[in-house]
Structure formats: structure tokens, C-alpha cells
Amino acid sequence: MSNENGLEILIDESCLCILLEELNKFIKFYNLEMEISSREVLYSFFKKSNSRDHIFSNDIFFCDIEFRANDHEKLLTEEEFALNILLMGQFLFNYQDASKHRPHDIGMNNSHVSYLKGCFRGQEVIARTEHLSKKKKEIIPIKAEDEASIKSKKIKTLKKVKSKGSTFKLVSFIPL
């Protein structure tokens, strides 16, 4: 997020050391300063509404963030939050996911990668995957018992969330 003080990066605490390691390599060349602070981020999920801003969506569900709690709204549990993210088809990174996935592997090639900008780490591999791959992967949220209905030779589970006795998965596959 950018504001009058510069750029603000929101990141899970477990991934902070990875981000700092990457940014420290370049920060000295641009005469920049970093300040680390801690804030509680609240996510709100809602159905389509043209009057609200949002940070990501799947055209059915929308998600936005805020930094102050509204005492009248019930906060989601961690399980409910993870389920909402999964049902939106989004991949929520944590420390264990670092360096495991490329954007195409988790469906972020359209929403999180710009092919118009300059060099970045892994750009050549990402660009080749985008422009030369013949079949495109699909990434969808499903109930675990529905996995057998997917027509594909290989289905990869990206995330799994258990909620109220049911198991939900975010899966990737190349359709037959």
C-alpha cells in the first residue's frame, strides 16, 4: 500500500526475515530507508458491491483490509479466515511456502504478476511459462469428496482447510 510516507508492505511476521533478506540486497543502491512496525490487519469478506474497494476477488466474493476493529462486527476465527481465502481461490502464503511455488503453480499469474515491468528474480521462467505453455493449469477450490469428479491425470493439492467436519482444498490441475 502506498501513502504519503512511501510504500507500506503488509506481510505475515513469519515471512519478515525472508523479505528483509531480499530487500537488503538492493536498498543500499537506492538511498532508501526501511522502518518495521507491527499492526493488526483485519480482513473483511463480502459479496459483490460496486461501492466498496477491495484488494482481491474472484468476481463472486471480495476481500478488503482495514487496520482498526469495528466493535459491532464479529471477527473471523483463523479457520473461518483460511476457508474464506481458499473459497476465493487465493493462495495465502506462510513461511513454509517460501520458494516452493511459481505464480503459475498457484494461480497468481494473472492477478499478481505484471509482464510489462522490468527485470525481477525468475522473470525468464515466468515469462516462458506464460507465453509458451500449451495447456493452462486451472486452480479451483473444492470439497475434498469432489476431487474424483475432476477430469485430469494429475491433481495437486495446494492448500487444505478443515471446517465444521468438512475438508476443503485448493487444487491445481491441467484439464483433459
Q: Domain containing 121: what range?
A: 2-38+76-173
Q: What CATH number did the domain enclosing 23 receive? A: 2.40.30
Distance CA 50, CA 40 (A): 26
Q: Does residue 64 sit within a domain?
A: no
- Which strands make up the sheet holding 42-47, listed edge to edge? 42-47, 61-66, 56-57
Model pLDDT, residue 74: 65
Q: Does residue 65 sit within a domain?
A: no
Q: Does residue 15 sit within a domain?
A: yes
Instruction: Find how far residue 21's CA is from the centre of its chain.
Output: 20
Q: Does residue 130 sit within a domain?
A: yes
Cell of 81: 479466515
DSSP code of residue 74:
P
Q: Does residue 145 sit within a domain?
A: yes
Tell me, what amino acid is at 118?
A: G
What predicted TM-score, i.e. pTM, was given to this entire model?
0.59
Backbone region of residue 31 per phi and psi (left: phi > 0; alpha: psi in -120 to 50; beta: other values): left
What does the pLDDT profile of the chain (176 residues) look like in tens digits?
Answer: 445 667 777 787 888 888 888 888 888 888 777 888 877 777 788 887 665 677 777 777 888 877 654 555 566 777 888 888 888 888 777 777 777 877 777 777 777 777 677 666 777 777 777 777 666 778 889 999 999 999 998 999 988 898 888 999 988 888 88
Q: State the total domains in the chain.
A: 1
Q: Does residue 66 sit within a domain?
A: no
